[in-house]
Amino acid sequence: MNKPVRSCIQILFAILISTVFLSCTASRKAVREPIKEQGADFLTGKLKEHEFKFNQFSTKFNATYEVDRKKTSISGNLRIERDSIIWISITPALGIEAVRFMLTPDSIKFINRLNNTFLANKFTYINQLINKTLDYDMAQAFLLGNDFSLYETNTFKASVENQQYKLSTTDRRKLRRYVRRSEDDIGIPIQSIWLDPESFKVTKVLLKEAERDSRRFVADYAGFADINQEQIPSDLEFKVETDEQKIYIKINYSKIQINQEQTYPFRIPESYSEIKDLQLNK
């Protein structure tokens, strides 16, 4: 697989495990007065109340991926049908599409237009690829700055840190009614969520392995755009840290649209050859 396409795929999957173009972007407001401590039930209720609600979402994006001090920049289009489809078209250069992804709760599909290949597999293939438990709900939440909607909230503990509310939990489990037969050991060892004390929007998320402190994923949401009376993250930064390496990804959303009619085209040409492995490390 050629280097530009491999980098595109690595960006996508680093985001999964884990915004300078919007003139309407608003920075976080500085809070000078001490904030009042609140209980976990109050904060999880406010988190749900103020989450980004939508049916369809679309945006153009620019992204920078850095690993071992080497940077790769790409751009593309992202479309989401709530709880159903994540559709991504990636254009590394010259506005020519190189790869296209479509994720559903059950499947992953991928087209490489540079070498006329495609992959179609179950969503669980992603877990094999990144050696991590992930589901569609997590992927959608990371891209939109929401909490995971299919996971329990009754184990959170509340605190205040750096003038923001903080919710922390260990061994957060997927709600039983949403566990599929094909899923095993669906849980999150350690998670922390930071909330803006005025908007109650998610500003930061930390996921960490219980037994390996060096393995962690951090999502930062530094800027928000006001679209149709919704505050939507427009400046996203993801950090993936393991024993072997550190990965940094910055994503800038522009031309955001909410609840506009859109399509998710994904036709595999008959001339394309099927592959079984995305081969990220080759």
Q: Which residue has the higher pLDDT, 127 or 139?
A: 139
- pLDDT tens figures, 255-274: 999 999 999 999 999 999 99
Residue 85 has pLDDT above 90, yes or no: yes
Report the pLDDT value the prediction gives residue 27, as an integer from 0 to 100: 40
Amino acid at 36: K
Residue 4 has pLDDT above 90, yes or no: no
220: its two tokens = 């930062």
Average pLDDT over residues 20-26: 30
Domain boundaries, the chain: 3-267
The overall average pLDDT reported for the chain is 83
Which pTM value belongs to this model?
0.85
Which range among 88-92, 192-196, 248-252 shows the weakest confidence by mean pLDDT? 88-92
- What CATH architecture does domain 3-267 belong to? Clam (2.50)
Highest mean pLDDT among 11-25, 54-68, 119-133: 54-68
Q: Confidence band (pLDDT; 50, 70, 90) for 18?
A: very low
